[in-house]
Structures are given as structure tokens and as C-alpha cells.
Chain A
């Protein structure tokens, strides 16, 4: 099968998309294909769940390693977390044991955010993007990730550099972490230039045939196109082959949903060259499997069985039993985009209200259709929604008006970019939600989002969060000691981690949990959403996928979660009270 994204490929190929869409597998398969076509290829993986070494049966790590099984192919694994740790150690190491422990801990927290990881990873890329003896021999360098628009824009701003890297101090902004990095401005500039040069760089957006991920990919496309990355291709991965739909109602429903999502593909994506990669019945481990990823495979024989592979896993309603026992409290869903947090929050809220418990469901769902169908639908259920973009915009305007007033043009541009960081949105949204949190003293408040541990620690450290909530609650709120303690007390606040039964999403969820634990918050439960193993399927492809899920579900149950529930993949989208109750009941 001819893949458009590999035709006349330039030197640099970047695959981007959210965790779990299959970027690393496609990057591996592409590298093999180009190497077999006679090119000398370097494959760079930053996937924390990197199985590149496992795929090729050798250990790779943070140095360029030739792959014996594939002539002309070499690989390199970059661990962004480890890169960030090296950076932290460089700054903090010399003062450990010299300054008081509490002070050292505070500094480490400042350097533990997503910004630091992102910048540290970009630093590792830099050497590969500029002309160097290290990479000279490779005709193609393939990355299974790409820097975000936010990072690239920051590096492009003159204000970000003036008086900072050159003097080694001064106004830092989100680029702060670069201060401890060794490279020169010229090198970063050369790397950013290479990224924006269409003759050298191609960006491949990887998505699934789902409305949510397509919307997200459209945003990424526009953001990166706006800063000069014009050479973009789209790959829809994991498309269910039509033949699977023939004898299986669940597969038929998924097929319909995927068709609908592809028909409603955002306009900006329609212009891009498009490739579709079918869902495969096998695990993408080993050379043979990767060979077959970009080719069509023959359908498997229909399975005679159709019972779910999982029977007695706990359902969402079992978790609700534990939540309901407290009589009131705050329930926060946490997880990466696209795992179904809003749906799960709605199912929990509907289940609580259905049991006669007053419940307030509040969401940041951009689509809003889910929450709108619930308004006035159930006694005891209040529904509200905040618009993350509106809240973030309001916050940005406020900061620009107060802080920006005295800045020169360069300083203002830098501040505006800082205000586009993911932290800013998180803070703005959480601030909006904190107005509703006080209700949790009397009823249930269910939110489809939660702040990360890093943000909570920073806000707590400055006392800003305490002040904010105190102001919001006035003196008529619930009794509490400090807001942070309220979040740390599982009787008052339950944080539920939502994930999918796939390797990368489980790993990302484990990272979120580690981050919360740093802030003294122990997630109360995990929810594995849209599980095929918990559904009835005859399609051999789906049954294979279900079998693959078992290892991940087992990992969640035995290693990660105190308690957990599995929510099945449903034939119909869980919209409306009846279907949400069905989802909760499993």
C-alpha cells in the first residue's frame, strides 16, 4: 500500500498526536520502510513507554544504536523525564545539603512542571536538527513526537532571548528552564529554522477516526501552520475495516461512528494529504508485525464466541456506592484529553442523582451536547458548564491589563506567549471551578477536570490558592482547615483517574497519579473507559483487541489503583440519562 506521507519524504519527519494514537508504531514502520528502500535512517523515540528496543530485540537507550535486523537503520531513545531530571540535578545538585531541605524541595517543585520536561526534550532534539557530524550520514531522521507550538513560538520570540540566555539571568518566563541548558541561541535558532523549512521537515498528524481527536488535531494543525510548519500530512490510524462490521452489532456501531467522524472532519484538515491505516488484529511488536502495519491484511475468521472476556470486574456503580456513602463531597475526574472524562463525570453524577442524592455536575466539555441533554432531566441534578477558552481569555486579558501595561513591545509579546501555556488554561479553569467547590459541603459536586499536583503545589506554596478559595468561600462555606487539606482528605474529595486499557494511556495516567501524590493527594480510584474486553463482540479484530486489554487492566488493578472500575465500550454514544445509567451499571 502506498502511503502518501512517505512519498518524497524530506530529511526530517515528525509524528504528532495525543498519547495512544499509535505514533511510535507508525514511526517505527515508516523507518523500516525507508531503510528497506535503501535509505540510511535514524529513528528517534521519546515515547516514555518506548518499546522501540523491545520491537527490535535490542537495548537502545540514549545513544545512537545500529539495528542489526534492519540494515541502514539506527535508533535513539530520548526520555524527556530523564532529561528534565538531569537538568534539575544540574541546578539543584550543588545546593543539596547546603541550603535547608525545605528550600531545596521548593526549588525542585518549581522545576517539575510540564514546561521543564518539554524544553529539556527540545534541547535534546536540537543537536539532531542542526548540521552535525553526529547525524550527517542519515538521509532521514524520524521523530515519534514533535515540539508544541507554544515551545516553538517562545523560541522564535526575540524578547525571550534578550538579556536572558545572553546574560544568564533576568526575566525568565516559561523559557526559564533553558537557562540551565548549555546550547547557544544560534543552535536553537537553527533548530527552529529547520522545523519551519518545508523542504527539510514534514509534520505528520496522527489521529483516530473520532470526533474529539480530530478536533484536537485540527487545532494542532492550525497552530503549527501559523508558525511556518506548512508541510503537513494526516494519518488516521486504527480504522476498523468494514468487513468486521458484517456480523457484529458492536463492530457495526463503531464502524458507523467512525464513518460519521470522518464525514464531519474539520474543514482545515480536508486540504491535507490523507492516509488511513487499518486496525490490526495483532500487537505491534516485532519486525513482522511492523511490516504489516502499513499494508492491508487479510480478514480473520469469525470467532464463534461473543461473550465478554471480562465478567466480574467492578462497575462504575460499585464506585458510586463508596462515593455515595459520604453523603456529600467533591468528585474530580482527572486524565488526558480524549479518555472520556466528561462522559464518566456525567455517568457518576446521574447515578448519584438517580439514588436521590443532590448533585451538581459541572463540566468544561467543549462540545456541550452531553451536558445540555441533561439539563432539567433528573430531579436532584444540577448541571453547569464553564467554557475553558472564555475563562482563559478573561484571565489573559486581566493579566495583560495589569501586568502588561508597563512592558515594552518585546516584554509584552513574551508575556502574551507565557499566557498561552497549558498552565495558564489549567489555572484559569480551576479558578472558575473553585466558585462551585464550596457547594461540596452540602451536596455532591462532580467535576470533569482537576488541577495537576504541580499546579496545586505551586499555588499552595505562594498561598495564592488559599487566598483565592478563602475569598470565594467567604465565611458561609464549609468548615475546612486549608483548601489543600480539603483536597488531600479523601472523605471530602475523591480524585478519580480516567484512562483507557492501552499501554500509553495507562502510563500517562500513572504519571498523573505520581504528580498528585507529590502534592499529598492519593487518587481514590481509577476508571478504565471504553473497554472492549467488558463488551460483547464477535468481530475477530475486536476480540483480539479485547485480549490485548487484559494485560493493561491487570496492571491497573494490581499495580496502580487502590480501587478501580471498568466501563464498557457501548454501541451507542452514552448521551442522555438512560444510557448514562447503563454505562454506570456496566
Chain B
């Protein structure tokens, strides 16, 4: 299965209440990320204000920041390669990236939390 990584711009609070208007794109995307996890997709998000080291340690992300600046975020990587930049993907696009049929509805039976790695540990902190 393919792994998605989303590199968010520096958000003071990811709820977005600090803007003069709530960014609907952020609201929708958060819901879509939840959905993708629910149907078994592998996706991680990183906030520039809180995990800048993750940005610095990834050569693709670092080069992107040097080229486009933080204004170019968000950046979406698919198995380490740039899949999209400058906007958040839609649910359909997320499903396509992850290789999951977007027909899977929210009511589908969630895939049990058996994540890869072979070591039996869960989530991204694996090994």
C-alpha cells in the first residue's frame, strides 16, 4: 500500500480559529484524512510550526521549501515523491493516491488497525 505524507504550513492552531475566516479547505481536509484512515489508507500530517525537523530531514521537502518557500505549502508526498502542492487534495484524489476505491463509503466496515511493518506495532512509530 502506498503511503501519503502531508506537510502543512505553520498553523498556530490547526483548528484554524486564528484566521479572520475559517478555512473551509482545512475543515474538509481534516475530515477527509479521518475518512482515509478509517478505510485503511496510510496518511500522516506534519505541521511546520511543530515538527520542522521532519521538513528539514526530508530532502524532497527541504528542496521544495528552498524553491517555493513556506507559501508553497501544503505539500503532498506519495511514497516520498511529490504528488501535489499548493492545495489540499480532494477525497477522490486521496483515494486515488492511496490506491483505494473512492466508492468505499464512510459507512464501510473499517479495516482493523493492523498496520504494516511486520513487527506488529501500530501506527507510524513503527520500528
Contact = CB atoms under 8 A, between A and B. Distances in A.
Interface of A: 91-92, 94-95, 98-100, 102-104, 106-107, 109-111, 113, 115, 167, 169-174, 176, 179-180, 398-399, 402-403, 406, 414-415, 418-419, 421, 423-424, 427, 431, 458-459, 461-462, 464-465, 467-468
Given A110-B12, A169-B50, A465-B20, 18 more contacts: A91-B52, A95-B56, A100-B66, A103-B65, A167-B123, A167-B125, A169-B51, A173-B15, A174-B13, A180-B50, A399-B17, A402-B24, A403-B27, A415-B15, A427-B19, A431-B20, A458-B18, A464-B21
A100 B69 contact: yes
29 contacts: A91-B49, A92-B52, A94-B52, A94-B56, A95-B56, A99-B55, A103-B55, A107-B49, A110-B11, A115-B12, A167-B125, A169-B50, A170-B45, A172-B11, A172-B14, A173-B14, A174-B13, A176-B12, A176-B49, A398-B22, A403-B15, A403-B22, A418-B17, A424-B17, A427-B18, A427-B19, A431-B20, A465-B20, A468-B21
Nearest to B62: A99
Interface residues on B, range: 35 or more
Q: Count chain A CB atoms within 10 A of each CB in B14, B70, B123 and give the residue with the most.
A: B70
A176 B123 CA distance: 21
A484 B11 CA distance: 20
Given A95-B55, A102-B70, A103-B65, A464 B50 contact: no
A441 to B, nearest CB: 21
A102 B70 CA distance: 8
Contacts of A106: 10, 48, 70
A419 to B, nearest CB: 6
Contact of A103 (B19, B47, B48): B48
A107 B45 contact: no
Contacts of A113: 12
Nearest to A175: B13
A149 B14 CA distance: 22
B20 A107 contact: no
B117 interface: no
Contacts of A459: 19-20
Contacts of A92: 52
Contacts of A180: 50
A543 B11 CA distance: 51
Interface in B27-51: 27, 30-31, 45-51
B45 A403 contact: no
Contact of B53 (A95, A103, A431, A464): A95
A167 B126 CA distance: 12
Nearest to A398: B22
B27 A172 contact: no
Contacts of B48: 103, 106-107
B99 interface: no
